[in-house]
Chain A
Amino acid sequence: LAKTTQPISMDSYEGQEVNITCSHNNIATNDYITWYQQFPSQGPRFIIQGYKTKVTNEVASLFIPADRKSSTLSLPRVSLSDTAVYYCLVFRGAGSYQLTFGKGTKLSVIP
């Protein structure tokens, strides 16, 4: 599976839009991109998933350029409760549920 690289940490003020970019240069044709959020001492929680272009749901947007070698998770107007670790993962679709976690990005939202 493609290895992912994302910033170790980011800081943001409340109310700002936060963009976390992940690179996955060796992504394969069958691979999907998914993002998870993890609070301390809790299991990860699914945020969003995409294959190409743009995906939006009630909590985030995911931008994937045409070459799919990177993706950007966009969190609009973050609040203190968005302080967490965000993981970008690439997984092989069509029934492959095994997820390999990288180091993640620790987002700290500052009042």
Chain B
Amino acid sequence: GAVVSQHPSWVICKSGTSVKIECRSLDFQATTMFWYRQFPKQSLMLMATSNEGSKATYEQGVEKDKFLINHASLTLSTLTVTSAHPEDSSFYICSAPATGRNTEAFFGQGTRLTVV
């Protein structure tokens, strides 16, 4: 089946630095990808919709200047957490819809970000 791969799986960074997370669709093209954030023992919260070749659409309350999204190709979307703070520590997950099936989305394995 289709695979969405995220990199890195986990990252620890210092406060004030920036971290880039990559999301790749390995065997299909994705004009749209989604980025979610999940805090411990909570559900996934949609952060933004990443659109290939155009600007991302952010959910209410998500700072677009802090969470930079770039979808430069049909197989790669990146999320950059800029000037990270400890409260940004979370599990970040991307997804892409299955081509030709308007029902199923494939999720990456997630990235555990810890800001110290």
- Show the binding face of A for B, using Cβ within 8 Å: 32, 34, 41-46, 49, 87, 93-104
Give B6-57 interface residues, CB cut-off 8 Å to A: 6, 32, 34, 36, 43-46, 49
In the complex, which of the residues A41, A102, A103 has the most CB atoms of chain B within 10 Å of its own CB atom?
A41
Q: Tell me the number of A-to-B contacts counted with CB atoms below 8 Å.
A: 54
Give B39-94 interface residues, CB cut-off 8 Å to A: 43-46, 49, 91, 93-94
Whether A46 lies near B104 (C-beta < 8 A) is yes
Partner of B32, one of A45, A87, A94, A97: A97
Main secondary structure of the interface of B (DSSP, over half): strand
Bound-state CA distance A36–B24 (Å) is 20
Whether B43 lies near A43 (C-beta < 8 A) is no
- CB neighbours (8 Å) of A43 from chain B are 4, 6, 93-95, 107-110
Whether A42 lies near B97 (C-beta < 8 A) is no
- CB neighbours (8 Å) of B109 from chain A are 42-43
- CB neighbours (8 Å) of B93 from chain A are 43-44
Partner of A99, one of B6, B34, B108, B112: B34
Main secondary structure of the interface of A (DSSP, over half): loop
Minimal Cβ-Cβ distance residue in A for B36: A101
- CB neighbours (8 Å) of A103 from chain B are 43
Minimal Cβ-Cβ distance residue in A for B57: A98
In the complex, which of the residues B44, B45, B93, B112 has the most CB atoms of chain A within 10 Å of its own CB atom?
B44
Q: Can you pick out 12 interface pairs between chain A and chain B where the beta carbons lie within 8 Å of each other?
A: A41-B112, A43-B6, A43-B107, A45-B107, A94-B102, A96-B102, A97-B102, A97-B105, A98-B46, A99-B46, A101-B36, A101-B46
